[in-house]
Amino acid sequence: MRLKKLALALSLALLATAAPLQAADRYQIDPVHSYIGFAVRHMAVSWVKGEFKEFSGEILYDAEDISRSSVSVAIKAASLDTRNERRNNHLKSPDFFNVEQFPEITFHSKRVERRGDAFVATGDLTIRGITKEIELPFSLAGPVTAVGGRPRLGAEASLTLNRHDFQVSWNRFLEGAGLVVGDEAKIDIQVEAIGPEPPPPPAE
């Protein structure tokens, strides 16, 4: 009898171990309702602001265990826009992003964790072919159920980068004004992502 109970206990333990974890929900970033922008000091007196207009990405979101979540984003470097064609062309040139040789800016998280009331995604950011590990603090909103039954998830993040870390290093010194371009770039990210299709209704 004791052997039978032991065998039953072992069988239950093996089944529990082998049971698959519930998969995280997969969300696709909706570029129509999302924004990735940047701002850099100009001559230490103002900010030049711009945005990337073409990007895509995926968020795996596990509401029960945020550590099983992840994010992956790819940005078309040539889609940058600062509302000035001459400046845009300079930023796309080898002086800055060198978009012909390095057409994408990417971020791939390695881990996601909760810190107090906020979240942090730690991962690899690649600009101009140079990869650095960064910490991306972010907040979440939702998910909410939209028309059609598909959930939508919101995320907001901001951070400051030193552009020289990625060899985006052009500058010029002007007498009486100092350096034309500041070293730090402020990044602002506002994302809306669309979740999976709802399951079909049960057959009658």
Phi and psi of 150, rounded to 5°?
-85, 130
Which pLDDT tens digit goes with each residue over 168-192?
Answer: 886 676 655 555 677 889 999 999 9
77 secondary structure, DSSP code: G
Per residue in 94-151, pLDDT tens? 999 999 999 999 999 999 999 888 899 999 999 999 999 999 999 998 788 877 778 9
Beta strands in the chain, from DSSP E residues, in sequence order: 25-29, 35-42, 46-52, 55-61, 70-76, 80-81, 104-115, 118-127, 130-145, 151-162, 173-174, 178-179, 181-194
- Model's pTM, two decimal places? 0.81
Cα(179)–Cα(133) distance, integer angstroms: 28
Q: Which residue has the tokens 């500058």?
A: 171
Residue 31: pLDDT over 80: yes
Domains in the chain, ordered, with CATH? Answer: 23-194 (2.40.128.110)
